[in-house]
Amino acid sequence: MTSGPFFFCIFIIGKYFTHGNAQDISCPLGSFPCGNITKCLPQLLHCNGVDDCGNQADESNCGDNNGWSLQFDDYIAKYYKLTSTKPSKAETSKCLVGSVPMHCLCRDLELACDGANLRAVPSVPSNVTLMSLQRNFIRTLPPNGFRKYHQLQTLFLQSNKIRSVSVFAFRGLRNLTKLYLSNNRITFLKPGVFEDLHRLEWLIIEDNHLSRISPLTFYGLNSLILLVLMNNALTHLPDKSLCQHMPGLKWLDFENNHIHNLRNLTFISCNNLTVLVMRKNKINHLSEHAFTHLQKLSELDLGSNRIESLPPNIFKNLKELSQLNISYNPIQKIPVNQFDYLAKLKSLSLEGIEITNIQQRMFRPLMNLSHIYFKKFQYCGYAPHVRSCKPNTDGISSLDNLLASIIQRVFVWVVSAITCFGNIFVICMRPYIRSENKLHAMSIISLCCADCLMGVYLFVIGAFDLKFRGEYNKHAQPWMESVHCQFMGSLAILSTEVSVLLLTFLTLEKYICIVYPFRCLRPRKCRTITVLIFIWTIGFIVAFAPLSNKEFFKNYYGTNGVCFPLHSEDSGAIGAQIYSVVIFLDTITSWVVIFILPINSALNPIIYTLTTRPFKEMIHQLWYNYRQRRSGDIKGIQKAYAPSFIWVEMWPLQEMPTEFMKPAVFTDPCDLSLVSQSSRLNSYS
């Protein structure tokens, strides 16, 4: 992981020098410029924690604080901090309110009665400017309860048990600018309840049970800027101008309600709205003109809804939009010109959306886009001009490489070489092992052939990794949909399946020999051949079935760069997933493909041939003959012993001295199987 970027740097620096000193800072697609110096880096290196540019340009502007949500969050956080530190400061500041109820803290003209077990709004001198009544047991807000507090600017009523709010409850609060009613049990607010609050700027009614609102609910709130109705039970918004009485509203938050559609007229007079949050609702229908009048909108969050299709011109008038989030909606298809009018968009979230018709044309008009979020990292290749694209890996591949980590890259070649060489070697050697049961040999050669396919598969994956090195994101999608990829995936599955079945067969055969030694007559030729054909047929069927039915399996093998079906998190095709589970009875991680399965293939020739006694004895015989000849030639006894010692070191055998001189010939297949089984056990221990 850490060495990956290092190689990239070398690669890029090389590229940079070969291209000479180009004067223009316009970078090729898929890369971004390093501030004011003439250097381009691939998307991948943006914000990776390493100063790849040398002037920190690639590590700046990493956070996605488009829209003004973040700044505002900061503002609110600061505000809360300010008010919550009040009690500690109360001791140092003088109280100017005069008489103060029990359990209340006072500073200047501010009063805090938090957690004071109050059951009703207390009566305090009328010159207070801030009153905090959080975490009490207030149940109702009676008429004219606050009437005398003309100076009151901030009123905290969070975390009480307020259920009923009189229509006259807030009368007289003409100087109130901030009202917090969060975490109560309000189900309904009568029209005109805020009539006197002409100066109110913030109205926060989070975590209540509000089920309906109408434009008249907000009558009188001429100065309102922020309205938060998060976590309520609203099922629909009025199809009348919601902002009719709140012309200055800038921030409207409906997160986590049950709203199911957005109609033409709801936001018609919300001319000054900048942020609209509708995240986590149940919106399944959007009228084409729902957002037409929101010309100043800079952030629109429609994430986690049930939108299946976007009307073609839904975003047409949002000229100022800088952040758009439509993540986690069951959107089927995005028209190629959907985002054409969003010239100022800086951040676009499309997480959790399968974009089947994805193409570069979709994102090309978004010239100022700097952050984009997708479901799959391969999609990043279609937005090459965007500086930050996430996710940038799927665990196997990265934007630049088919095999992201250097370990995988090296291993794929090493294992491929060992597997191919070992298995081919064994296939060639087997016929020369004379004391071998022919049918057993046939099974082993069959096994080697199957394992060899795994070597071929790895070799091809390694080759394509080399071919795509440094620009994988351009080729990812075509590669995964290609016939090569499908075929290679089938080969890998064929190899795995046949290998596993053959091993099972061999083990069973030996088991029967050991447990029922007398029944173990010479295995009939016919039976063995039938079983082998049967196993290969099953392998072929299992491996190639997913290619037969595209409807059911979708792109079964092309879910990742190594073309091996790892359907762990991809919920695309349920049929394919079930198929995978049936075959593997478990989820397999990417490392299994590159490590465990090939290791099996690489080890099989060693276990089944190189460690068996007949093979060793054949080698000994050869060596013995050679030594005999040599000692005969040179007549040096000392020299003859030295290499023999090395031989023993390199090929440790159990009963070397006695067995060495008399090569045994096994004719009984059971004997042979028993011996190879024991030598296999030895090789494990």
* Binding region for ligand NAG (CB under 6 A): 35-37, 64, 96-98, 125, 127, 150-151, 174-175, 247-248, 263-264, 271-272, 279, 287, 289, 303-304, 325, 327-328, 343-344, 347, 349, 367-368, 373
State in angstroms the smallest separation of the CB of 67 from ligand NAG: 8
Closest CB to ligand NAG among residues 151, 611: 151
Is the previous residue joined to 391 through a cis bond, with omega within 30 degrees of 0?
A: yes
**Residue matched to tokens 């609060």:** 173
Which is closer to ligand NAG, CB of 248 or CB of 575?
A: 248
- Structural tokens at position 215: 């434009």
Beta strand 164-165 with 154-156: parallel, antiparallel or unpaired?
A: unpaired
β-strands 31-34, 37-42: how paired? antiparallel
- Minimum CB separation from ligand NAG for residue 548, in Å? 37
Task: State both tokens at 677.
Answer: 């089984």
Closest contact distance (angstroms) between CB of 239 and ligand NAG is 7
We find the least distance from the C-beta atom of residue 292 to ligand NAG, in angstroms, to be: 9
Q: Which is nearer to ligand NAG, 369 or 460 (CB)?
A: 369
Cβ at position 42, least distance to ligand NAG in Å: 21
* Tokens at 335, concatenated: 């028209």
Alpha carbon distance 356, 151 (integer Å):
59
Beta bridge partners of 41: 32
Cα–Cα distance, 297 to 318 (Å, whole number): 6
CB of 170 to ligand NAG, least distance (A): 13
25 residue type, one letter: I
CA pair distance 460, 420, nearest whole angstrom: 12
Nearer to ligand NAG, 76 or 343 (CB): 343
**Closest approach of Cβ 89 to ligand NAG, in Å?**
18
Residue among 47 and 583 whose Cβ is closer to ligand NAG: 47
Q: Using alpha carbons only, how large is the chain's radius of gyration in Å?
A: 37
Strands, E assignment, 328-480? 347-349, 371-373, 388-390
By beta-carbon proximity to ligand NAG, the closer residue of 297 and 672 is: 297
Judged by beta carbon, residue 286 or residue 563, the one nearer ligand NAG is 286
Q: How far is the CB of 344 from ligand NAG (least distance, A)?
A: 4
Rounded distance between C-alpha atoms, residue 622 and residue 289, angstroms: 88
Residue spans of beta strands (DSSP E) within 336-407: 347-349, 371-373, 388-390
When the beta carbons of 239 and 671 are compared against ligand NAG, the nearer one is: 239
- Return the number of the residue (174 or 260) whose C-beta is nearest ligand NAG: 174
Q: What are the CA-CA distances from residue 286 to residues 108, 182, 234 (Å)? A: 50, 29, 17
Measured CA to CA, the distance from residue 647 to residue 637 in angstroms comes to 16
CB of 242 to ligand NAG, least distance (A): 14
Q: Per residue, what are the HEC states of 88-104?
A: HHHCCCCECCCCCCCCC
